[in-house]
Chains A and B, each alone.
Chain A
Amino acid sequence: MASTPSALTMSAAERQRRLELRDLLNAKYKYIDRTWDVVFWVTAIFIVAGAADITKLLFAGDWDFWTDWKDAQWWPVITAFATIIIPSALQWIQWVAWRFPTGATYTCVCLFLASWIGRYFQWHVAETYPLNFVWPISTVPAAIILDWLLMKTRSFVLTSLIGGATWAFMVWAFNYIPLAPFLQPAVFMHHVMTVSDVQGIGYIRSQTPEYMRHIERGALRSFLGETQYVSLVFGGTMAVIGYWIGQFIGRYLAVWPIGRFIKTI
């Protein structure tokens, strides 16, 4: 924050340079200006959505497919980690290139579209699973807060530390609200179970047998039965790690070829 020079401490030359930069920012270009923006923002939707979706599938696979996998112990940890990676990478790219606090929101808006289109056409229309069983989580609100934090702190370290924990909490809380109806107790097959369990048994998954589910099983240390809050703390830590994996991708893997290109010209 000290690095934004105030008018008082700036030298005359520095002040002059910043005025020139201001003119540069407001300069008008005839052709590439808006056309480039439209082409870029639209084509990037597919690439970013694809990257985010693959990363989520890779790490969080079934946790994001079925309501009966969205448990108190593993779901908050796995999804927080899996979903922050690409938003973090895009935060780096869009902040460094344009000072846009939009990388996370952009990624999550794209992912939202891709997830719902995938669930609707592939899982609901083609496979005929009811959407209320296979709905995707939404990370958009968490992304808004993550971008807001970057804008306010202008620091990737602070964003990772505060933002990682906030991310884990926001992703979980925002999606736990619509999950609540599916955690209502019901009686099915002579057992008390949640509505989501009934969905998991009823809507047959021949190739995803029940034992593949990683859900809270209960243990001696039950933390008064409130496993999820312990998981959220752990999920926050995992999200910080995920954030830095994303930073690595953003800083070295994604931008590196562009840097090479710029150096050549």
Chain B
Amino acid sequence: MRLRFAAGLTAAVLIILCGARGAWAHGEAADEPFLKDLTVAFFNVHISPTVIKVGDPVTITGSLKILETWPYTLDPPATAYITPVVPGPVFVLADRTVNGEPDMGSIFVEKGGVYNFNMVMRGRNPGRWHVHPGIAIQGTGTLIGPGEWVTVEPSATPFRFDVSLLDGQKVNLEHYGGAFVWWWSLAGFIIGVIWMLYWTVPKRTVTRLAVTIQLPINDDAPDIGLITPRDHFWMSVLAGITVAMMVGGWVYMAAKFPVRLPQQTDRFEPVSAAPGVNLATVRGTGATYDEKTSTLILNTQIKNISDMPLTLTEYSMAMTTFVNGDAAAIAQAGPADYTGKLDVEPNTPIAPGETRAVKLTMSGDVFNDERLIPLHDPQQLIAGLVHFQGERRKYDLVTVKSVLIPTEFQPQYLP
């Protein structure tokens, strides 16, 4: 019995430790692979600059598509919130637009929707922080995009978060209103402490219990001395002070802040930025993953349904993007830890009307680090976005979904 308890305790500690290790990078690796692959693909994410001083801006730009392959096991996407994912308020968010519109809060989204975001943050706490864009979707949770390390260096002036009130006053939210909250609450607390001291210091509990158990519950026995007229007097004084403080506080508040606005809520449906005309269809015909070399091979059947030759330029899955191009093109595609080379076979433009089997090969530690490949999951599926480039700046983003067969399945975590 004791042995089993010890084993259980050890297992619990190990699970907590492993969980904590995963949580180091915002817990994204803790999510199941299908939850990341089949839901949202991030691409074209840029986070810059990567070294700033406290108070300076960092801009996160990029795009995401809510994939048509959204798993049926999750609530359909409807309400979402695009947000920076950072370890607490080490930055403050100063501005945000989605598809060009100012976005103060949550938005309405749909499967297949493409959303371009632009978020400006200002550095608040010095340190080296991992910054991601993310989209929280109601019923699902926060899905995150590729991240970049941003160093915030100390500045000579302390951080300020200035906001203009409608009456023209400019206030610094780092401190605004805080002192009043504290002193006001403390004043009420002190009356409470006096109340408690009045009863607990001169009056003993032990002897009172011996008396109260012999009396009916609503007998406060002034004749015996449990609650005396003197007690009534002083308690009424304290209650009176409390009420007077409330009334005084209210009069002051009403005079100083005659306008009090309700908290605001506004949700809108951004016009999807998906390219209007479809240029190609893509069918996944099977994928394999080799864990030893971290290599993903995705076989597809591509049909060009446009009137121009198409080049397959990129494949994006969850927070990664693989680029059919040289090192410079890969560097352009997003944060280095989440991008890689895409081998396309055969790598020639697809003619209008042509149907072709195309093999996509990519490899990277990111598959394991971010746990993107289902190796032991109830949904052995992957999905992503195939980017095509046509002529005259025309492009298309086509969602592809495929069964995934690993070269070897992962053993159970627990026997």
Residues in A lying within 8 Å of B, measured CB to CB: 1, 3-4, 7, 18, 21-22, 24-27, 29, 32-34, 36-37, 40-41, 68-72, 95-102, 105-106, 108-109, 112, 116, 127-133, 135, 138, 140-141, 143-145, 147-148, 151-152, 154-155, 170, 173-174, 176-178, 180-199, 201-207, 209-211, 213, 215-218, 227
Cross-chain contact A145 with B242 (CB below 8 angstroms): yes
| Cα–Cα, bound, A199→B83 (Å) | 14
CB-CB nearest in chain A for B183? A178
Known: A141-B246, A184-B165, A191-B102. A216 touches B264 (CB 8 A): no
Question: A25 and B262: CB pair below 8 A?
Answer: no
* Interface size of B in residues (CB-CB distance below 8 Å): 105
A170 to B178, CA, bound (A): 21
B231 partner residues in chain A, CB cutoff 8 A: 151
Contact at A181–B85, with CB atoms within 8 Å? no
Instruction: Please name 8 pairs of A and B residues whose Cβ atoms are closer than 8 Å in the assembled complex, sorted by A.
Output: A41-B200, A102-B200, A148-B238, A178-B184, A191-B266, A193-B263, A197-B264, A216-B262
Contacting residues, chain A, for B257 (C-beta < 8 A) = 180-181, 183-184
Q: How far is the CB of A88 from chain B (nearest CB, A)?
A: 15
Supply 16 further A-B pairs (C-beta < 8 A) apart from A173-B250, A178-B184, A195-B171. A71-B262, A130-B174, A141-B242, A184-B259, A185-B259, A186-B165, A188-B104, A189-B102, A190-B104, A191-B102, A192-B261, A194-B261, A199-B173, A202-B89, A209-B106, A211-B80
A198 and B106 in contact, given A109-B192, A144-B238, A215-B263 (Cβ under 8 angstroms): no
Residues of A within 8 A of B142 (CB): 206-207, 209
| Closest residue on chain B to residue A124 by CB atoms | B178
Determine the chain A residues whose CB is within 8 A of the CB of B79 once the complex forms.
211
The answer on a CB contact under 8 Å between B265 and A112 is no
How many angstroms between the C-alpha atoms of A154 and B227 in the bound complex? 11
Q: Is B176 an interface residue (CB 8 A)?
A: yes
Known: A98-B208, A141-B242, A177-B250. A183 touches B261 (CB 8 A): yes
A50→B85 CA distance, assembly (Å)? 32
B192 touches which of A70, A105, A184 (Cβ 8 Å): A105
Complex Cα gap A232–B332 (Å): 56
- Closest residue on chain A to residue B135 by CB atoms: A209
Q: Which residues of A contact B235 (CB under 8 A)?
A: 101, 147-148, 151
Compute how far the CA of A129 lies from the CA of B239 in the bound complex, rounded to whole angstroms: 34
In Å, the complex CA distance between A193 and B263 comes to 7
Take A112-B192, A141-B188, A185-B166 as given contacts and tell me if A202 and B225 are in contact as well, using a CB distance cutoff of 8 Å.
Answer: no
Contact flag A209-B136 (CB < 8 Å), given A71-B262, A184-B165: yes
Q: Is B117 engaged at the interface, CB distance under 8 Å to the other chain? A: no
A197/B263 in contact, CB under 8 A: yes
Contact B81 A202 (CB under 8 A): no
| Interface check B4, CB cutoff 8 A | no
B163 and A195 form a contact (CB under 8 A):
yes
Known contacts A141-B242, A144-B238, A216-B263; is A37 also within 8 Å of B177 by CB?
no
Q: Which residues of B contact A131 (CB under 8 A)?
A: 178, 181-182
A49 to B308, CA, bound (A): 71
B250 touches A194 (CB 8 A): no
Contact of A191 among B104, B134, B189 (CB under 8 A): B104
Binding site for A on B (CB under 8 A): 26, 79-81, 83-86, 88-96, 102-106, 121, 124-125, 134, 136, 138, 142, 161, 163-167, 171, 173-178, 180-182, 184-185, 188-189, 191-193, 195-196, 199-200, 203-212, 214-227, 231-232, 235-236, 238-239, 242-243, 245-246, 249-250, 252-253, 256-257, 259-267
State in angstroms the CA–CA spacing of A189 and B102 once bound together.
Answer: 6
Q: Which residues of B contact A186 (CB under 8 A)?
A: 163-166
Q: Which chain A residues lie closer than 8 Å to B96 at the CB level?
A: 189, 201
Best-surrounded residue of A22, A151, A204 (most CB of chain B within 10 A)? A204
Q: Bound complex: CA of A135 vs CA of B183, how far in Å? A: 12
Specify which chain B residues have a CB less than 8 angstroms from the CB of A127 in the assembled complex: 88-89
A148-B227 in contact (CB<8A)? no
Q: How far is the CA of A108 from the CA of B196 in the complex (A)?
A: 11
Q: Decide if B192 touches A217 in the complex (CB within 8 Å).
A: no
The interface residues of chain A lying within 8 Å CB-to-CB of B95 are 189
Nearest-Cβ distance from residue A255 to partner chain B, whole angstroms: 12
Question: Which residue, of B121, B188, B225, has the highest number of chain A Cβ atoms within 10 A?
Answer: B188
Q: How far is the CA of A183 from the CA of B264 in the complex (A)?
A: 10
- Residues of B with C-beta under 8 A to A141: 188, 191-192, 242, 245-246
**Contact indicator A209/B83 (Cβ below 8 Å):** yes
Q: How far, in angstroms, from A69 to B263 measured CA to CA in the complex?
A: 8
With A and B bound together, what is the CA distance between A187 and B164 in angstroms?
6
User: Given known contacts A128-B125, A132-B176, A143-B192, is B218 in contact with A155 (CB within 8 Å)?
Assistant: yes
Specify which chain B residues have a CB less than 8 angstroms from the CB of A180 in the assembled complex.
Answer: 253, 256-257, 260
Q: A109-B193, A130-B175 are in contact. Are A26 and B93 (CB under 8 A)?
A: no
On chain A, the residues within 8 Å of B163 by CB distance are 186, 188, 195, 198
Residues of B within 8 A of A71 (CB): 262-263
B121 (CB) vs chain A CBs: closest residue: A204
Given contacts A109-B193, A141-B188, A195-B176, A129 and B220 within 8 Å (CB-CB): no
- Give min CB distance, A101 to chain B, whole Å: 7
10 closest cross-chain pairs (CB), A and B = A132-B178, A209-B136, A209-B81, A181-B177, A140-B192, A183-B260, A193-B264, A203-B89, A211-B106, A190-B102
User: Who on chain B is nearest to A6 by CB?
Assistant: B223
Chain A residues positioned under 8 Å from B217 (CB to CB)? 95-96
Residues of A within 8 A of B267 (CB): 211
Residue of A nearest to B245 (CB): A141
Known: A36-B206, A97-B205. A154 touches B218 (CB 8 A): yes
